Structures are given as structure tokens and as C-alpha cells.
Structure 1
Amino acid sequence: MGDVNDHRVDVPADGDAGEVRRFWERLGLPGLVDVHTHFMPERVLRKVWDYFDTLGPLTGGVEWPITYRKQEAERTALLREFGVRAFTAMLYPHKPGMARWLNGWAADFARRTPDCLHTATLFPEPDVEAYVREAVEAGARVFKAHVQVGEYDPAGQLLDPAWGLLAEARIPVVIHCGSGPAPGKHTGPEPITRVLARHPRLRLIVAHLGMPEYEEFLGLAERYGEVRLDTTMACTDFAEGFMPFPRRALPTLAALGDRVLLGSDFPNIPYPYVHQLHALERLGLGEEWLRAVCHDNAAELFGV
């Protein structure tokens, strides 16, 4: 594992709004659409930050300073300063009995934050189909699933009706199913392959480009037309220090340019927001690819 601390980016956390705006203005875009930003109840988010601070095992033991450790209102204001036209409230349970409560909070957050895509979550438990249906009927536009943190098999029987419901409703699911930054019992492409075999029309958005199983998850996107990937943390100096993107996969990433979506992990990132954009630009896949990834693909998917 490389020393990620050798890859610090020296742009002030609060001073990169101008750089972010110059990035998308130069591409001729109206702004950005970020499908992977975290908003959740404050006490839950504080526990997440505490976990990063203590180098919990799911972080891979990597030092992970939170760049945007701010109050909720400051964080939403900062995304707007960046020119992010639409974002998400990626929240997730780590045990049974949390998801319905989180969905209630997220519905309220979406009502008071119109530029946030109404987000919901799920967990394998007996009432999952019922509360997923409730969330869909309440207007949820995107779901978050976290296989690593939840430590569950996404292909298990309890979740199967929920996947079917979401496939029928054509609601995207951002899913952390890759084995980065640390593997889990059910991470990796095999469990997701079983889910897609039963629900081939399920709109899965594989978080982090499937880090570190990049090529396997790109292969799933080649096989299933509704599978997409988000860019969250991928190809940044931080991620390249210990889970580098294989350059031989760049042609595949380019060919799938209509199904790659900008994700950032804001606010839980150890570098300034603009660095994710620069990391994508330096892949050398061209401005058309960047325009699609940073705005157009998600704008079309979510109708924003």
C-alpha cells in the first residue's frame, strides 16, 4: 500500500469554489450534478466522522481527514457555491431497524432542500419491501445501499422483492459494493452479478467505479445496459496511492462514457472538492466525456 499522505493537494478547502466553477464553465456546462454526496441526521454523521478519525477498519487503516467538517447549512451552501445543480443525501443503516427512520429524515431533508434528489435507503429485514414501497410512493428518486458497512449479501432473499420493486419503478440505486477501501464479507462483483441475473433492469450505480475491482464492474456495465458507475474518489491522488485505476481499462471507461456519473463523497473527503474534477480531467478522455460525466448523464437520468 502506498503512502497516501504523499499525495496531499494544497488547495484551500473553502477557496476552491472559484476553481470548481471555472472547471465547468470552461466545459460550457450549466453546473455539475453530483450523485454521491452525504447528508444524514447530524448525530449519525458525527459518528461517521468519528469512525474516520479513529481509523476504523472499514477505512483500510488509512488516515482520512474530513475536509468539509461543517454544519449542514454550510455544506449545502458550499455545494451551491460550487455550482452543483443537484446532489444526493447518501445515507445508510448499519443494522436492522434504522432504514425506515433514516428515510423519514431524508424525505424531510428533500422537502427543505429542493436541489437535493430525494434519497432513501434499505437493509435486509422483514419489512424492507414495505418501507421501500413507502419511500417510492413518497417520491424517492434515488436509493443508497452500502454492502460493506451493512455487512449483508445483496443477493439474499430478504432484499429480492425490494430490488424487483426498484427495477420496476426504474429508480436508480447507488451501491457501495466494491471491496475498497477495505473488503467486506459480501463485497466484490460476485454478489452483484447474482442480483443482476435476477433483476437485469435494475438501475444500479456502482459507487467508486467499483474500487478496487474496477475492471470487473466495468464488465458488468458492458453486460447490463442499466448498470452505471460513479466516479467517487476514483483516480484522485488519495485513491491512486493504494487502489490505482488500471490504465488498460481507460478505453472501456471511455466507451461507457454515457453511463459514468460524477460522484464526490462530499463532505467526507480528505482533499478539496475540485481535486476530483481535476483527477477526471487528467485521464485525458476529452471534453465530451467530461461534459457527459460531470453533468449530462445524471441530468438526463434524473430529469434535472
Structure 2
Amino acid sequence: MPEKPIPPGGETEQGAVAAFRRAVGLEALIDVHTHFMPEQVLAKVWAYFDAAGPLIGRPWPITYREEEKRRVETLRGFGVRAFTSMLYPHKPGMARWLNDWAADFAARVPECLHTATFFAEPEALDDVRRALDQGARVFKCHLQVGGYDPNDPLLDGVWGLLADHGTPVVTHCGSGPVPGPFTGPGPIAELLGRHPRLRLIVAHLGMPEYEEFLGLAERYEGVMLDTTMAFTPFAEAAAPFPRTALPRLAGLRERVLLGTDFPNIPYPYIDALRALERTGLGDTWLRAVCHDNAARLFTV
């Protein structure tokens, strides 16, 4: 019997998420791919989604289009005990300002894993040093939106510093929803060849180049993957995960992390959890992915 649709937000969806947690055996979730950013920046991001811009390529309604306090309360209501504030610059000169905002947000919201970002520009290394001094625990690198090469010499010191610190970097490097000039496994394979100790979290399981990014995770022990949008009907319509690769994903159980893209998702949060459940990889895998791996990585 098909699952009954759950309206987003409110007590009904909270109950559905709580039921998922009980069924799996978890008191809480940890979501490593959620977006919080300055309101004027978020408004522009939402406007881009509303217009189905060229990096989107299809209608993409924002399910949780709410003010910041309400979005935080929604995650708390779902039992998300830790989450990120993924933010990213699309041009030079933005990263430091975004990082200062993110430091303030993390100070105001105790559940937030202090997040920072960078851009391929001469100030990148200083920006990252400054963010680490402020307490950043995870970085976001968006190769599609930023349109920069991760192997740009301006970033070599950044990658070396983050590798030395062991600080994870959530990286949108797959070519979904549309390819960019530096997306795909090739640039990341080159980067890891030079910085093999990087803790690189491949967003969206590397969609649509799933198997190639699974291969990088199998080769480099610091490479992890987040589940953002993977297996949902919305994503499967355009970039289905190959079912023959599920055993490889099961084998990487300790290096797969829950991500959702909240609030910028075109379906209720519970749909992302149910999609993971439908993989059939079992409760032990789900517990690791939805909580335990991130709890170990971030010591929360």
C-alpha cells in the first residue's frame, strides 16, 4: 500500500518523523546538510529556485518557506539534535561576510554545527584561518554555484590547512541537477590525489555520478557522502541511484551521513527519511547514517 502523504510542518509531520526514529531505534537525528544564511541572501536563493534558474532546470517549490526562528523550531520538532548552516559565495568578496554571519548564527543556535565557506580568491586562506579561529567545525564548498576549480592554485593552501585540521568539507561536486565546468568526479579525484587526507563529504551522494564517487570513498578513507535528496521520487525521476550499487553503499555504512537540503526541498522532510528506509539497507545502516556517524565525526 502506498505511504500516505504527510503535509509538511506541524504536529502531523513531527509525529511521522518521531515514528521513523522509534522504528529505527533513534532518539534524535543529525542532519549535516541544512541551509541557514542571511535573510537577504536566502531571499535571492529562493527567488532563483522560484524562477527554475539554469542551475535548477525544473520547477522546485520551497516547502519550508518560513522565517528563521520557525525553521529552527521545525528542525527541533523533528528531533534533529545537530544541523549545519550551509552557505556559499557565488562571487569573490562574499565568504568572510558570510562566515561572520554564520559564526553569529552558531552562537545563537546551540544545535548548529558552526559552518563556514570559502571562494577561489587570493583571500581564501586567510578567510579559512579566520573561520577556524572563530570555531568553524565544518565548511561548505559549492563547485556548481561558485563555478571554480577545486584545484585552483588559490585554494591549495586551503585544502592543506583543512586536511591538517581534519575539518570536514561538505562539497557539492556532482553534476546534478545540471553539470558545471568543474563538477564531476574528475576534479575531485585530482584534488584527493594531492590531498589524500581530506575529510571530504560528497553532497547528494555525488548525484548523478554515484558510482564514481562511491569509488573515491572506497579508495580514500577520509571521503564520506551525504544523502541529500537521494532516493526521493523527486531525485529518482531525473537521476536514479543504480540499485546494483546498493551493496557498495551498505559497505560504506560508517561513512554515509544524513543530509536533506532543508528548507530548500520540494517535499516534506519525512519524505527524505522514508526514501532512505525504502533502500532496504536496514535499521543498523539507518541508525549509522541518520545519527551515529555524524555524532562520531563531530563529537556531539
Counterpart position of 2:270: 274
| Partner residue, 2:72 | 76
How far apart, in 2, do the equivalents of 1:156 and 1:148 lie? 15
Question: Aligned with 1:57: secondary structure?
Answer: coil
Partner residue of 2:143 out of 134, 141, 147: 147
Deviation at 1:10, TM superposition (A): 3.1
The one-letter code sitting in structure 1 at the alignment partner of 2:8 is A
1:231 paired residue number:
227
* Conserved? CA contact 1:122–1:128, under 8 Å: yes
SS in 2 for 1:64: coil
Aligned to 2:125: 129
1:164-194, Cα deviation, whole Å (9 max, x unpaired): 0000000000000000001100000000111
- Deviations 1:39-60 (Å, cap 9, x if unpaired)? 000010010000000010101x
Map 1:1-304 onto structure 2 (within 5 A).
10-14=5-9, 15-59=12-56, 61-304=57-300
Is residue 31–residue 84 contact of structure 1 (8 Å, CA) maintained in 2?
A: yes
Distance 1:53 1:166, change over 3 A: same
Q: Equivalents in 1 of 2:63, 2:298: separation in Å?
A: 28
User: Compared with structure 1, are the counterparts of its residues 148 and 161 closer, same or farther at alpha carbon in structure 2 (3 Å cutoff)?
Assistant: same
Q: Is the 8 A contact 1:9 1:275 kept in 2?
A: no
Contact 1:67–1:270 (CA under 8 A) maintained in structure 2: yes
Give me the identity figure in percent: 68
Offset of residue 137 of structure 1: 1.3
What is the CA deviation profile of residues 27-47 of structure 1, one whole-angstrom value per residue up to 9, with x for unaligned ones? 221200000000000010010
Structure 1 range deviating more: 91-100 or 23-32:
23-32
Q: Distance in 2 between the 1:298 and 1:86 partners?
A: 9
Summarize deviations over 1:246-285 as a string: whole Å, max 9, x none: 0111010000010000000000000000001000001000
The amino acid that maps onto 1:182 is V
Runs of 4+ in 1 over 4 A off after TM superposition: none
SS at match of 2:55: helix
Deviation, structure 1 residue 9: 8.0
**SS of 2:65 mapped into structure 1:** coil
- Distance in 2 of aligned mates of 1:84 and 1:243: 27
CA RMSD of aligned residues (A): 1.2
Contact 1:66 1:269 in 2 (8 A): yes
Normalising by structure 1, what TM-score?
0.96
TM-score normalized by the length of structure 2:
0.98
Report SS of the residue matched to 1:202: coil
CA shift for structure 1 position 216: 0.3
Give distance in 1, aligned partners of 2:4 and 2:45.
23
Q: Which runs of 5+ in 2 are unaligned?
A: none
Structure 2 letter corresponding to 1:31: A
SS of match in other structure, 2:175:
coil
Report the AA paired with residue 12 of structure 1. Answer: P
Per-residue CA deviations over 1:124-178 (Å, capped at 9, x if unaligned) read 0001101101111111000000000000000110111000000000000000000
Matching residue's letter, 1:41:
P
Q: Would you say how many aligned residue pairs link Structure 1 and Structure 2?
A: 297
Aligned AA (1:261): L
Q: Which stretch has the larger CA shift, 26-35 or 221-230?
A: 26-35
